[in-house]
Amino acid sequence: MQRIPRYLRTKRIADYDLFRAHIESRATTRSTQPFLPATFSPPSPQTLLPTNFTPPNPQATPTTLFEPRHFFLRDLPPIRRFVNRTDPSQCLVFTDGACIHHHRDKNNTKPPKAGWSFIFKPPHSTTKNGYFSARLETRGPEGETYPQTSNRAELRAVIAALRFIYYNDNVFDSVVVATDSKYVVHGATDWIQRWGSNGWRSVNGTPIKNQDLWQALLKEVGRWDADGKGVCFWWIRREWNVKADCLAKRAAREGAEVREWVDVGMPIWPIVEG
């Protein structure tokens, strides 16, 4: 029999029972769709796009709205996630991207290096896990070579987070992506619809940058939507995203070069966590 954490044994026991019932009811078979479709169709005006997450009050922070919780699923070890305090079917993930040496020196000796990270669970005294971070790949998901930029790293972090949570935490009805990148939030919830309808070109007729990653992001949102799940984006202050920022910068600075696109999201369930 699974051990119930101490903080769930008293006044939260009813909430725990409700949460566990919800989690077990959402244990579904995970999709094995390829990362990108053979042919990509731009979003139509009817395409359901991600939405902006609106906190109940302007002063709310991620820690006031989402709390660390354990939950249990069958005979697996307990899992910790950032769970909405009033809606146990919603989780939160922090994402960030960074690029160093993006202004090259005169001798061109320090090429730009980008890194990304996402944090999917709170820290725990018995483990250092709870996040993924890596250098940004030289090639995109379709095999083309692209420059190392902070915007690409920001998008890469979101794509990795959505795939990881979908395949390994497919028990939540919605996920809130917390990021300090307005480029990502505005692009995902507003601009991308206009870009797709305009053939992935700006109002000036120039090709949209990072089109491959925007299409990959749409693919992941569509995967969630096909299962009746929602994706929300929440722009947060940079000081609320310090850890993800540090992890992304460290990956850019110290991480080994990665040439080919790496998929961190395919099923690795069950995950042993503290």
Residue 102: inside a domain: yes
Tell me the per-residue pLDDT of 109-124, one tens digit each, with 9 for 90 and over: 688 999 999 999 987 6
Residue 13: inside a domain: no
Mean pLDDT, residues 132-156 taken together? 96
For the chain, how many structural domains are there in total?
1
Residue 80: inside a domain: yes
The pLDDT of residue 190 is above 70:
yes
User: Which pLDDT belongs to residue 22?
Assistant: 44
Size of the chain, expressed as the number of residues it contains: 274
Distances (CA, A) of 109 to 103, 112, 259: 11, 10, 19
**The pairing of beta strand 131-135 with beta strand 174-179:** unpaired
Mean pLDDT of the chain: 80
Residue 16: inside a domain: no
Residue 242: inside a domain: yes
Tell me the per-residue pLDDT of 72-98, one tens digit each, with 9 for 90 and over: 666 566 778 999 999 999 999 999 999
Q: Are residues 141 and 153 in contact, defined by beta-carbon separation less than 8 angstroms?
A: no
The pLDDT of residue 272 is above 60:
no
Residue 3: inside a domain: no
Q: How far apart are CA 168 and CA 148, in angstroms?
A: 28
Q: What is the pTM of this model?
A: 0.80
Q: Residue 234: which domain range?
A: 43-254
Q: How far apart are CA 197 and CA 200, in angstroms?
A: 7
The pLDDT of residue 209 is above 70:
yes
CATH number of residue 248's parent domain: 3.30.420.10
The pLDDT of residue 188 is above 50:
yes
Residue 23: inside a domain: no
Tell me the per-residue pLDDT of 44-69, one tens digit each, with 9 for 90 and over: 444 568 999 999 988 899 999 999 98
Residue 111: inside a domain: yes
User: Which pLDDT belongs to residue 196?
Assistant: 86
Of the ranges 27-41, 143-157, 180-194, which one carries the lowest mean pLDDT score? 27-41
Q: How does DSSP assign 204-234, residue by residue?
A: TSPBPTTHHHHHHHHHHHHHHHHTT-EEEEE
